[in-house]
Amino acid sequence: MSDNRIEGYARGLFEIARAEGTLDEVEDELFRFARSYESSDQLRSALTDELIPPAKRQAIIEDLLGSKATSTTTQLISMVVGSGRTRDLPAIVDNLVARASAAKDLEVAEVRSAVALTADQQHRLAAALTNATGKKVNLKVVVDPSVLGGIVATVGDTVIDGSVRTRIDQLKSRL
Amino acid sequence: MSFLEILIRGGDEGHHDVTQTPSSFLPEGYELLFGIPASLLVFGLLYKFAGPVIKKGMAARTAKIQAELDAGEAARASAEVESAKIREAKGDIESERRRILADATAQADAMLAEGRTRITAEIAETEAKAVADIASAQSRVGDELRAEIARLSSAAVDQVVTGSLDDATHQELIESFIQRVGAQKAGARK
């Protein structure tokens, strides 16, 4: 899909979420769903299978999210899946998150951790990243077991890697 | 009785038998009287008419024999010439045989020398290739061994590290990261 179309979808989702007054919540839920979509082969293949009717795929979304997400988030994802743009969902969501962050004069900070962070840890980490980058950050935490331990934080083009995975890879390369 | 007595007494015998010749050797006298001239006449005629023919025949025979002798001599001379040629040719053949043998020996020596040189070169090349192959195999085995050690080491590291990552360690790593990032100042990191 062209960048213009992705931006168009992202702008549409953004405007709907803002109109609903649930932008922060929807943005966060979309971000987490997009990361789950990227990391789960089963989910990806189910939602992109052309042999499954769009209505069936939308039903899968309903079953998956159900009470775990706001109805706005569920409907927005169903809309993207129903329009046959499932493969572009991560790019659309990233664009939406960047747009939402820019609206709040924030920089998206994607944080990958092997375990979930507490609210306090997220707060202190956001402050630390703001201090380190000089930019106010919109923290997005992704639980990624492949990190093994520690954290990988990406703010714009800056990557701060404190993961066990990277240290092991460095050790392996020395071996 | 001598021969002369027989001649003399032949005509004097009184009781002459007409059925017997007066001489056992000589004819009657009158026979001699006619016989001798007749014989001479016959001989003369023979000499006159048959002599040239006989002489001519003898000359022709002589010429024929001489021609045959000349032809034999010519054949002998030709045979001698041919013999000389054959002997010469035989000498040439012998020298050609020796030359061919010498050429063949020289070619065989050259081929032998070339073969030895080529075999020596091939042996050297094969040895060099074998040495290179051995070195390559050693290197490859070394690389494979190192890769296997690295793989096993990596697996061991993974197992050890993931096995030791309990919740407390996770929290310690997260807090350490937050503190380390928080200690950095904007623009300080590259």
Residues of B in contact with A149 (CB under 8 A): 161, 165, 169-170, 173
Which chain A residue lies closest to B151 (C-alpha atoms)? A172
* Residue B151 within a domain: no
Q: Over the Cα atoms of chain A, what is R_g?
A: 17
* Residue B168 within a domain: no
Choose from A148, A155, A157 for mutation: most chain B CBs within 10 A. Answer: A148
| DSSP result, A121-157 | HHHHHHHHHHHHHSS-EEEEEEE-GGG-SEEEEEETT
DSSP H or E run through B10: none
What's the residue count for chain B?
A: 190
* Residue B2 within a domain: no
State pTM to two decimals: 0.54
Q: How many domains does chain B have?
A: 1
Judged by a CB distance cut-off of 8 A, whether residue B162 touches chain A is: yes
CA–CA gap between residue B166 and residue B136 (Å, rounded): 46
CA–CA gap between residue B69 and residue A42 (Å, rounded): 129
CA–CA gap between residue B51 and residue B9 (Å, rounded): 40
Of A133, A153, A175, the CB nearest to B154: A175
Quote the tokens at residue A113.
């951790």
* Residue B115 within a domain: yes
Q: How far is CA A153 from CA A60, A69, A138, in A?
A: 32, 25, 12
Strand partners, A138: A108
For tokens 């109805």, name the residue: A71
What pLDDT does B74 receive? Answer: 95
Question: Distance from A11 to chain B by nearest Cα, in Å?
Answer: 31
- CATH 1.10.520.20 residue ranges in chain A? 1-104
Q: Over the Cα atoms of chain B, what is R_g?
A: 70
CA–CA gap between residue A71 and residue A162 (Å, rounded): 36
Choose from A107, A112, A115 for mutation: most chain B CBs within 10 A. Answer: A115
**Nearest to B190, CA basis, from A130, A157, A163, A112:** A157
With H, G, I as helix, E, B as strand and everything else as coil, classify residue A164.
helix
Q: Classify domain A1-104 at the CATH topology level.
A: Peroxidase; domain 1 (1.10.520)
Residues of B in contact with A131 (CB under 8 A): 181-182, 184-186
Please tell me what DSSP assigns to residue B186: T
What pLDDT does B5 receive? Answer: 63
Measured at the alpha carbon of residue A174, what is the angle toward residues B179 and A171, in degrees to the nearest 5?
Answer: 35
Question: Distance from B140 to chain A by nearest Cα, in Å?
Answer: 17
Q: In what order do the strands lie in the sheet with A150-155?
A: A137-143, A107-113, A150-155, A158-163
* Residue B63 within a domain: yes
Residues of A in contact with B167 (CB under 8 A): 115
Average pLDDT over residues A130-153: 89
Quote the tokens at residue A32.
């987490």
Quote the tokens at residue B123.
């042996």
Judged by a CB distance cut-off of 8 A, whether residue A121 touches chain B is: yes
What pLDDT does B126 receive? Answer: 94
Residues 6+ apart with CB under 8 A from A81: A47, A54, A57, A58, A61, A89
Question: Distance from B123 to chain A by nearest Cα, in Å?
Answer: 41
What pLDDT does B108 receive? Answer: 95
Residue type, B46: L
Which chain A residue lies closest to B155 (C-alpha atoms)? A172
| Letter string b/e over residues B163-177, b meaning 16 or more CB atoms within 10 A of that residue's CB | eebeeeebeebbeeb
Judged by a CB distance cut-off of 8 A, whether residue A67 touches chain B is: no
* Residue B149 within a domain: no
Judged by a CB distance cut-off of 8 A, whether residue B150 touches chain A is: yes
What pLDDT does A134 receive? Answer: 87
Residues 6+ apart with CB under 8 A from A54: A81, A82, A84
Quote the tokens at residue B13.
């015998």
**Nearest to A38, CA basis, from A79, A110, A103, A88:** A88
The fraction of chain A above a pLDDT of 70, given in percent, is 98
Q: Which domain holds residue B85?
A: 22-122
Asked if the Cβ–Cβ distance from B185 to A131 is below 8 Å, we say yes
Question: Distance from A96 to chain B by nearest Cα, in Å?
Answer: 26
Asked if the Cβ–Cβ distance from B176 to A128 is below 8 Å, we say no
Each residue's pLDDT tens digit, A110-136: 999 999 999 999 999 999 999 888 888
Quote the tokens at residue B33.
């009287």
Check whether A152 has a pLDDT greater than 50: yes
**Ordered per-residue pLDDT tens for chain B, 190 residues:** 555 665 555 555 555 566 666 677 777 778 888 889 999 999 999 999 988 999 999 999 999 999 999 999 999 999 999 999 998 888 888 888 899 999 999 999 999 999 999 999 999 999 999 999 999 999 999 999 988 888 888 788 888 887 888 889 899 999 999 999 888 876 554 4
CB proximity under 8 Å: A 137-166 to B: 148-151, 153, 158, 160, 162, 164
* Residue B175 within a domain: no
Residues of A in contact with B174 (CB under 8 A): 113, 115, 117, 121, 150-151
